Amino acid sequence: MFVCLSGLPRSGSTLLSTILHQNPDIYAEGNSAVCQLMWDMQQSCEISSREQLEANYRFNTAYDLISEIPNIYYQNTTRPIIVDKCRSWTLPANQDLLRRYVTDTPKTIVLTRPVDEIVNSFQSLHELNNKPFDANEYLREDSEPLMRSLRGVEWAKQVNQGEFLFVTYNELVTETDNVLDEVYSFIDAPRFEHDLNNIENVMCENDFVYGLAGMHDVRSEIEFRSRVN
């Protein structure tokens, strides 16, 4: 089973994926390249490689290549449920990718949080890393990682017919058991009893790649994080 984990940054996706990974049937690591790789391959097959594919009557090659990317990416795990984390899964074009190449019935968990809290959280990260902070850089139109993701979340809310499960950051950290009940019901999988008092991110990302150390840190016990200016 392929499940998408998406939504806004600083909204608890690392916490949720870390908890879910406790289940021996669920594989959930850090930010995934699957969506981008599928998109790039589709662009190549439809544009830059189209002439060669058509000239050699390779009409099924594009589908074969793109649909195989998730299998190749996760070939080293035997866990039957993959939770693929990427903020871009809520964008319409990428939902089309899921339907064309992965499953007719995609399921995407979408985490949300008020924008002001997200910006404050990024400010704290910048201060932790002794880096200058400009809120306008996060709030400008189509900025990454915030405003483009927000556009995708807003679209998903408008079109949702059961393929999206929306979870707020506040719900995740204050009603964790209820959220997990909803998640397992949403993905139609047996409920697993998680240890919420001993949370360990065994799939920790290298945050130095992102230039913000501590961005994906997870505490051993769930705690609401807020910042008051």
Residue 173 lies in a domain: yes
Strand ordering across the sheet containing 108-112 = 26-31, 81-85, 2-7, 108-112, 164-168
Q: Which long-range contacts (CB under 8 A, 24 or more apart) does 183-190 make?
A: 183/16, 183/20, 183/109, 186/107, 186/109, 187/1, 187/3, 187/81, 187/107, 189/1, 189/25, 189/26, 189/81, 190/25
The verdict on residue 113 lying in a domain is yes
What is the mean pLDDT of the segment spanning 12-20?
Answer: 97
Identify the weakest region by mean pLDDT among 44-48, 162-166, 199-203. Answer: 199-203
Say if 225 falls within a structural domain: no
Instruction: Give domain status of residue 34, yes or no.
Output: yes
Q: Read off the pLDDT of each residue in 90-108 and give the average, rounded to a whole number.
A: 97
8 pLDDT more than 90: yes
Give exposure, 42-79, as e/b (b: 16+ Cβ within 10 Å).
beebeeebeeebeeeeeeeebeebbeebbeebbeeeee
State yes or no: pLDDT of 75 exceeds 80. Answer: yes
* Domain assignment present for 228: no
Helix (H) or strand (E) holding 5: strand 2-7
- Does the pLDDT of residue 224 top 70, yes or no? no
- CATH at residue 112: 3.40.50.300
Asked if residue 227 is part of any domain, the answer here is no
How many independent structural domains does the chain possess? 1
Residue 140 confidence (pLDDT) above 70: yes
Report yes or no on 86 lying in a domain.
Answer: yes
Q: Give the model's pLDDT for residue 228.
A: 42
List the domain range (segments joined by +) for residue 111.
Answer: 2-209
What is the pLDDT averaged over residues 45-51? Answer: 97
Q: How confident is the model at residue 18 (pLDDT cuts 50, 70, 90)?
A: very high
Assess whether pLDDT exceeds 80 at residue 2: yes
Q: Looking at the domain assignment, is residue 229 inside a domain?
A: no
